[in-house]
Structure 1
């Protein structure tokens, strides 16, 4: 198959890692694959530099940016159409809101046989204005009719899309966001890293992995920290990630007199994340808007229990009382109580982590994700073009050598 993946930007992030692994899997299976992206950068870092795939063809669309700008968006749409017209793909698979809307429109008008999209996180949510949500929902409805399949990284995303009237449930399919789990499954605490981070030996560590941006929920952990310290005593809160809110968060921590308890690790290369999780006693995931919490899957793969808000796809990974604890959204006391439970009962925490490791081991393996997608691509192509069956068969074993 000739496959094109389109995503707005290739920063270090969950949607981008998902897309890159999908591309890698397609290439390993012998398909011709091109990754199309915009030029945007950010404090998160550049994923294509951190994780290079030999032989990957990358096309940069100059005007494809995250921000809504009608003039630039029109130019990006024209650039996408021109590129798709020249290359005649069998499949166009879009990711993220902007690339999803412009990419699907361009693919539809260039008569690409199969057009699919992955919902990694919803552009509309309760923390935005009514008009902005209305705009995004209207745009998603418009392109849903031009889409053969919409994948979601969590069942919760499908429920929300159907409730918003974007498309009937039959158009959706849940495909959990695959990851490279091998290094997480085998991760062990590294004493040198612990010393570099100035984590005292024997002191419990509560970790959070997220960009330092709005809606990621760092403020809830900061507010919960005094309650946790009061019950546990000495503890460290390890924040992995960088972003525009760092100064504001540092000010909040200083105002509460908690500077000595918080450690900002900064931006960490994806391949080093397992080493950081291995130092944690538990992980907290407090985002107010999330598709599927990848950091929770990664923590469970490391055998660490997790605490999170009961919203979006989080309950599909954190099974309350089994792999960690769920709290009511924005409940500072709920977060504190859950973390205290885990830190006071290390044996129970270890059992939860072990159950979590077994739960995610196969479900979130990236090769499993790629296989599901390819099977669905073929089914959609066969349904669209039954007369061209030979053209869309999987590469033979000889072809893949």
Structure 2
């Protein structure tokens, strides 16, 4: 096997989001190590904006498949599968690494059919989760089980993701490995409050800022934060709520804030490029991360790197980032009073905030470096290919597969 690998990543769309940033950092790391890297994606449509328009590693080949889309569409899905299959049959790749639900299913099936030597997948967040209609969950679990039998290894950005998959009998535990989502945290460590940005947002030195970094969509928890806001304002009148992100619920959130008569306390920062997020975490005293569905909460990692304690739910990978009582507080989901109490407790005690923020900073720096993530994945590729070459295919894989060799 050549020391240079031909690696193809497949992801449904490259909007601004955690899974996409994770994938792009992986590509960057492997390009820097001398590998040949291709990224296959569908159109990057959405209110979030395109990540590739913001940043793209030099040397990365990008292939867009127009039919690869997020929503279920049998005609487009079949066409996307056929295009992926043609790509994998016409070009040699040592590794196909898929990301996200739709690309994860179609990409694994196509790569397996084309006998790509090593097929792996990363679970960034579950397609099935408790707050979703049960028939939809049943369909996604069945699809994930089918695809899991057609890949060699499944990575997850948090141990909680593995536990959920094993409980759902997607694949045996031994087929999984945790590779924590990697980020560039240096900017968050160094960022300081900028007077010009504070003036632009209407924040003064007297304000205490509760931040929330998330798309303005369902399940992200903006409704709970708004419901908690009046109690927080009554206890800490100088509080401001800084909402970083945009989306389809903005008008609804603005109306709710007006109905609650708290508009003067709400700041909409809008869509912020990933490289600029650190400027906003530097203004925060507490981060409220109230998403009901999150693989590994990157915004919580980023806030902690900035020394900002986090109030969140004990869901998915969040407890692996936010240590209850040490780097923040974990509250019962969908309980505005509990959220308000935790936020108030932090806002009223600067020493506690500082202590928790510093503890969280030290912890995330140990686990969430993007170069560490990239290096671990590279070693996994090399080990997996070596096992295949030696005929040591995983005994967990029941399907007989003929592996193509390099041309």
Specify if TM > 0.5.
yes
- Hey, what does 2:22 align to over in structure 1? 18
Question: Out of 283, 287, 291, which is 2:287 matched to?
Answer: 283
Alignment check: 8 A CA contact 1:362 1:368 kept: no
Distance, in Å, in 2 between the alignment partners of 1:53 and 1:138 is 36
Which ranges in structure 1 are unaligned for 5 or more consecutive residues?
389-401
Question: Out of 201, 221, 228, which is 1:224 matched to?
Answer: 228
- Hey, what does 2:248 align to over in structure 1? 244
Question: Out of 386, 392, 397, which is 1:382 matched to?
Answer: 386
Question: Out of 206, 211, 228, which is 1:207 matched to?
Answer: 211
Alignment check: 8 A CA contact 2:210 2:287 kept: yes
* 1:110-189 → structure 2 map (5 Å cutoff): 110-189=114-193
Distance, in Å, in 2 between the alignment partners of 1:117 and 1:24 is 18
Q: Secondary structure at the match of 1:303?
A: coil
| 2:199 equivalent to 1:195 | yes
Question: Out of 68, 76, 81, which is 1:64 matched to?
Answer: 68
Q: Secondary structure at the match of 1:62?
A: coil
What is the RMSD computed on CA atoms of the aligned residues?
A: 1.0
Alignment check: 8 A CA contact 1:40 1:65 kept: no
Distance, in Å, in 2 between the alignment partners of 1:56 and 1:130 is 40
- Hey, what does 1:397 align to over in structure 2? none
Q: Secondary structure at the match of 1:124?
A: coil
Distance, in Å, in 2 between the alignment partners of 1:105 and 1:27 is 26
| 2:332 equivalent to 1:328 | yes
Q: Secondary structure at the match of 1:201?
A: coil
CA positional deviation for 1:146: 0.7
Alignment check: 8 A CA contact 2:25 2:183 kept: yes
Which ranges in structure 2 are unaligned for 5 or more consecutive residues?
393-407
Q: Secondary structure at the match of 1:59?
A: strand
* Count of equivalent residues: 388
Q: Secondary structure at the match of 2:294?
A: coil
Alignment check: 8 A CA contact 2:65 2:80 kept: yes
- Hey, what does 2:101 align to over in structure 1? 97
Distance, in Å, in 1 between the alignment partners of 2:195 and 2:64 is 42
Distance, in Å, in 1 between the alignment partners of 2:313 and 2:266 is 21
Distance, in Å, in 2 between the alignment partners of 1:208 and 1:147 is 37
- Seen in structure 2, the aligned counterparts of structure 1 residues 343 and 93 have a Cα distance that, compared at 3 Å, is same
- Seen in structure 2, the aligned counterparts of structure 1 residues 94 and 255 have a Cα distance that, compared at 3 Å, is same
Q: Secondary structure at the match of 1:165?
A: coil
Give per-residue Cα distances to partners, 1:302-335, cap 9 Å, x unaligned: 0110000111111111101100111011111111
Distance, in Å, in 1 between the alignment partners of 2:57 and 2:159 is 30
Q: Secondary structure at the match of 2:171?
A: coil
| 2:332 equivalent to 1:312 | no
Distance, in Å, in 2 between the alignment partners of 1:128 and 1:342 is 32
CA positional deviation for 1:155: 0.6
Q: Secondary structure at the match of 1:137?
A: helix
Distance, in Å, in 2 between the alignment partners of 1:254 and 1:200 is 22
| 2:46 equivalent to 1:42 | yes
Question: Out of 30, 45, 58, which is 1:54 matched to?
Answer: 58
Distance, in Å, in 2 between the alignment partners of 1:40 and 1:277 is 26
Alignment check: 8 A CA contact 2:206 2:238 kept: no
Q: Secondary structure at the match of 2:315?
A: coil
Distance, in Å, in 2 between the alignment partners of 1:187 and 1:155 is 30
CA positional deviation for 1:33: 0.5
Alignment check: 8 A CA contact 1:141 1:166 kept: yes
Distance, in Å, in 1 between the alignment partners of 2:330 and 2:77 is 40
CA positional deviation for 1:128: 1.4
Question: Out of 303, 307, 322, which is 2:307 matched to?
Answer: 303
Distance, in Å, in 2 between the alignment partners of 1:228 and 1:48 is 38
CA positional deviation for 1:219: 0.5
CA positional deviation for 1:387: 7.9
Question: Out of 263, 272, 275, which is 1:268 matched to?
Answer: 272
Q: Which runs of 4+ in 1 moved over 4 A?
A: none
| 2:93 equivalent to 1:75 | no
TM-score by length of 1: 0.96
Alignment check: 8 A CA contact 1:189 1:275 kept: yes
